[in-house]
Structure formats: C-alpha cells, structure tokens
Amino acid sequence: MLGAGALVLVAAAGGVWAVSGSSGESGPARFTSMPEPCSLVPGETLERYVPMSDPPVPSKARNSPDERYEACEWAEPVGAKGVSTSRRLNVSVRLHLDGLAAAKSEYGAAWDGARSMAGTAKGAPGSLHAEAPAAIGIGDQAFTQHLTLTGPLGRSGSVAATVRLRNAVISVRFRGTTSPLGVDGSPKIGKAVPLDEAAARAGAEAAAREIAKTLAACEDCLSR
C-alpha cells in the first residue's frame, strides 16, 4: 500500500520511471555523447502516438564531469470537434560517464521506487493507483509501470519506462486524457478519462525501443 506522500511526489514529479531485465551485459565501451534529444524518436513513431503534437521542446542540457543529461517533450494542443485529446511524450537520456556502476545504481533505484509505489494511495489531490512494474526486453535492463491518477478534472493515465543500455539510462513517460469540451471550449470538469492502458504501454515501449536503437547505432557516441 502506498503512503499519501507518494501521491504528492508523483503529482509533482509527473510520474515514475520503469525498467526491465534482458539481454545480458554490453561490452566495455561506454557512451560519452548522444544525438540531439529531439531526434531520438523517429517521425513515424511520433505520428502514431502523438500525431497532433506541437514542435518538440528540448530541455536545457544538464552536464557535469560525471554525467550528461538531455530531454525532449512532445505535446498535443487541445483538440477540436467537441473532444479534447491531450497526449504527451517525455523522453530523457542520462549518460553516466564514469561507467556502468552508476547507471546500474540509477536503474536499481528506479526499479525499487516503482515496486514501492505499487498499490493505491489517496491524498488531498485525489488518488493514485500504480501497478507493479513489469520487465520488458529492451537494452540491458528495462521495465514499465502503468499509473492512473484520479483528481478534480477526472482521470489521467500514464506509462513510464526506464531502460539501461550500457552506461545510459533512458526514461520515457507517455501519458494522456480524453475529455469532452464545454461550450467555452475548455475540458469539462470531472469528465476526463485516461488513455487506454494497452495504447499507453505501446507508446512508451515504442519510444523507449527506438531511443535504445538510435543510441546503439551511434558508433561515434561510444568510447572505450
């Protein structure tokens, strides 16, 4: 069972990562650079899962001697024809420049955090239900977790995915709602429903798989 504090954390942080067990360890080479973050997800994947999104918004890179961090977000505007479909895709990659140990530690902390969240928590903003994390076969380790938040505007759903590939930790969050619109064009309060879980999982996993594939193919990003 989740504590009420976990609900506040998720509401503030926007979700939790997910990761999975997999194909064995990669070789000793490590990533020391990465492609531009908004180029990591191919256009066909974006067209399928966030087809009406505005231009992508990159986050300011946060780099240090030990880490490189890049992120990007795609968001759809309010829909038309009496219905608002709002979907967002957030992706980030953190490179641990000092090797695998720190990446494994980040992955392990994400997995432990996802396991501890499993269940339902209620608090002032509403309630959060988090399913147990599920391992998936991407990279060296990976998992996903489905979350549903119920609040004053209705219900929203998201799937978070975390993948470790060598010394890189990939985080993906795909979330969204569908709401009927009032006469003023704004979503009706309390009527929002979350994305279908299967569709949300498919979107998060597709983005995570493509990012891992893009990184793995970037020979110039590797150093031994």
Confidence of residue 109 (pLDDT cuts 50, 70, 90): very high
Average pLDDT, the chain: 82
The pLDDT of residue 185:
67
Q: How far is CA 155 from CA 172, 186, 204, in A?
A: 20, 16, 19
The pLDDT of residue 24:
43
The pLDDT of residue 153:
65
Q: What is the mean pLDDT of residues 58-67?
A: 90
The pLDDT of residue 18:
32
**Percentage of the chain lying above the pLDDT 70 cut:** 79
Q: What is the mean pLDDT of residues 192-210?
A: 90
Q: Is the pLDDT at 137 greater than 60, yes or no?
A: yes
Q: How far is CA 135 from CA 4, 29, 51, in A?
A: 26, 25, 28
Confidence of residue 138 (pLDDT cuts 50, 70, 90): very high
Choose between 44 and 4: higher pLDDT: 44
Instruction: Report d(CA 75, CA 116) in Å as an integer.
Output: 29
The pLDDT of residue 4:
38
**10-14, 171-175, 178-182: the lowest-pLDDT one:** 10-14
Q: Is the pLDDT at 26 greater than 50, yes or no?
A: no
Q: What is the mean pLDDT of residues 179-205?
A: 78
Residue 149: name the closest of 109, 195, 201 by CA.
195
Domains of the chain: 4-223 (3.40.1000.70)
Instruction: Report d(CA 10, CA 196) in Å as an integer.
Output: 20
Q: Is the pLDDT at 45 greater than 70, yes or no?
A: yes
Q: Is the pLDDT at 201 greater than 60, yes or no?
A: yes
**Can you give the three-state secondary structure of 194-216, one letter per residue?**
ECCHHHHHHHHHHHHHHHHHHHH
CB half-sphere exposure, 82, CA atoms < 13 A: 0
pTM: 0.81
Q: How many residues does the chain have?
A: 224
Q: Is the pLDDT at 81 greater than 90, yes or no?
A: no
Q: What is the mean pLDDT of residues 82-97?
A: 86
The pLDDT of residue 79:
57
Q: Is the pLDDT at 13 greater than 50, yes or no?
A: no
